[in-house]
Structure 1
């Protein structure tokens, strides 16, 4: 827990208050691309990399202008995408080519291609950048790539039809969603073995770990819910009802919000991680799929498969129930009104955890 006084909270939020401050959780920009699915954002926040399935390419978006600044050709049906912690490499799963393309971000060119398992979809990279974990939905396994040698060094058998994958901030565990088993496999990264299996909701797809590593959020597309796993006990401690057909999830860097794409509802659900409730629904494009939050926590990028766009959402920036929405104080009661909003909140401000990845 941490606390702030009303005065310090006002100072903390005043920088963005004023004319032109954006409303909370609204689409502030729309970027045209081609059949976008996965999305990841570089550690410095300057670029978003988006996989374009039907085009066998990756669009590079400059986040300063929200325009496509480059396009990289990859292999067949690119789906998942993740960037290394130093921002030098982007790993792209090519579902129908059974491979992973490695893009060097300095020149936005493919510098290597790695053969993995059957039908790779999700990918996540360890915090030290030494390993990439790739889910192979057709092989019921996870390929582990040594990023120094760009070779597969391990294959871990998990549940049936693995999709999403996320790694804890300390790098000790990888969480893998198994769509057909309604479960999550927990991999010990030191031994590269499954050490636990957690029953979740129907048809789990996406997964993200909070920045402090205490919770894993799992989207259950079959029952329109999100399972919240306590990573210390490896048990489901809460279930959140969200929109229609939840697919992917990303947690903000401050840990106070989780953003969930609802593919069949053309919306994004915003979860308050303190109360574990859906607090808002944001309309976006047609069939939203991937989602990633910028490192500064100011924006969420959402891929809309069926209308060939990326929606950019202005994100809540919160301290407990006091939130800054792209610069505006929102929620909890209006300023100067004696509203009921608490100025004390819980959660971690620790470093970024793995945001998970797209599993088609």
Structure 2
């Protein structure tokens, strides 16, 4: 399974072989049991999300914990853990539906997706998908969830009305993470072992383009206008910028060691990239495609999400969550989470 311990090994192997041999995350089955030390404990928390992030709904963060097969629920107005939800084995990817009523979790060892009702913070369904699901994304309309199945080399398509898989799409070698275009007409899938991004036409559920990027791509996010996709290449220490009109890479941005996941600000002016190997977050100006800040966070940062108002970025470290003030690019709070937080999604709960 994908664990923090395996990340460095995977990066070295991909860099050395340059795509000659297929890498399967299942080679790295060591579980982070050392991190499973109980319920999350509140640490020093000087600053919650600002008033600029106030919305009609309450913003709540959902973090997958690979250390004990749970999801931590954090109220980001107070930066406190309000619930811990048991899910499947080795929860990895997490995504919130647009209405804020559902959160979807990819369980890598269970080959399932758990569906969480945010009103009760309980699991209401477990959906069988492909082999070793890693990342997933909810369509802008909320009707579909696309799941990247690493070992199957496929993408499962879930109908959210029935919580059933309605299509399975062949992708590249080692599908890892998924992102939708703003209109939902395209899904972009990183293929870790192929060093490519598959572009899926969601009307036909077929791959219409395959884009070479860097070595061992993981995270992918699109700008709000949908004109650019940012891809974090773990093995190259770069971020590829894709022009979605031509499906070509138009820029390659050097970042810190082992870039993993990406978040884009609501205005599309900034991209935030977790640098797993360096313990930092690289902040990219999307107008110039240059790194304008490097923010020290915790050890082995992986998941990252930006609040709806864009004033805060939340980062999952090996045993904590860092809160970044996006105006100053500094960490203003740290929440201790000893159960191994891995990825994060922020839901605007009604």
Q: TM-score band (shorter)?
A: 0.7 to 0.9
Q: The residue matched to 1:93 in structure 2 has which SS? A: strand
1:313 to 321, 324, 327: 324
Report 1:19-34 matches (<5 A).
33=40
Q: The residue matched to 1:170 in structure 2 has which SS? A: coil
Q: The residue matched to 1:68 in structure 2 has which SS? A: strand
1:208-251 per-position Cα deviation (integer Å, ceiling 9, x unaligned): 01000000000001110000000011100001000100000000
1:11-33 per-position Cα deviation (integer Å, ceiling 9, x unaligned): xxxxxxxxxxxxxxxxxxxxx94
| Cα distance, 1:44 vs structure 2 | 3.9
Cα RMSD, aligned residues only: 1.8
Q: Runs of 5+ in structure 2 lacking a partner? A: 1-38, 42-52, 331-342, 345-350
2:255 is aligned with 1:242 = yes
2:274 is aligned with 1:253 = no
1:4-55 per-position Cα deviation (integer Å, ceiling 9, x unaligned): xxxxxxxxxxxxxxxxxxxxxxxxxxxx949xxxxxx999452000000111
8 Å Cα contact 1:43/1:86 also seen in 2: no
Q: 1:325 to 1:223 in 2, by over 3 A?
A: closer
What is residue 342 of structure 1 aligned with on the other side?
A: none
1:162 to 159, 175, 191: 175
1:63-113 per-position Cα deviation (integer Å, ceiling 9, x unaligned): 011010111110100000000000000000000000000000000000001
2:192 is aligned with 1:179 = yes
Q: Runs of 5+ in structure 1 lacking a partner? A: 1-31, 35-40, 317-323, 327-356
* Distance in 2, Cα, partners of 1:33 & 1:292: 19
8 Å Cα contact 2:293/2:329 also seen in 1: no
* Distance in 2, Cα, partners of 1:141 & 1:152: 12
8 Å Cα contact 2:303/2:316 also seen in 1: yes
Give TM-score, length-normalised by structure 2.
0.78
| Cα distance, 1:121 vs structure 2 | 0.7
8 Å Cα contact 1:266/1:287 also seen in 2: yes
Q: Larger C-alpha radius of gyration, 1 or 2?
A: 1
8 Å Cα contact 1:43/1:87 also seen in 2: no
* Distance in 1, Cα, partners of 2:91 & 2:265: 25
Give TM-score, length-normalised by structure 1.
0.76
What is residue 273 of structure 1 aligned with on the other side?
A: 286
Alignment coverage as a number of residue pairs:
282
8 Å Cα contact 1:48/1:60 also seen in 2: yes
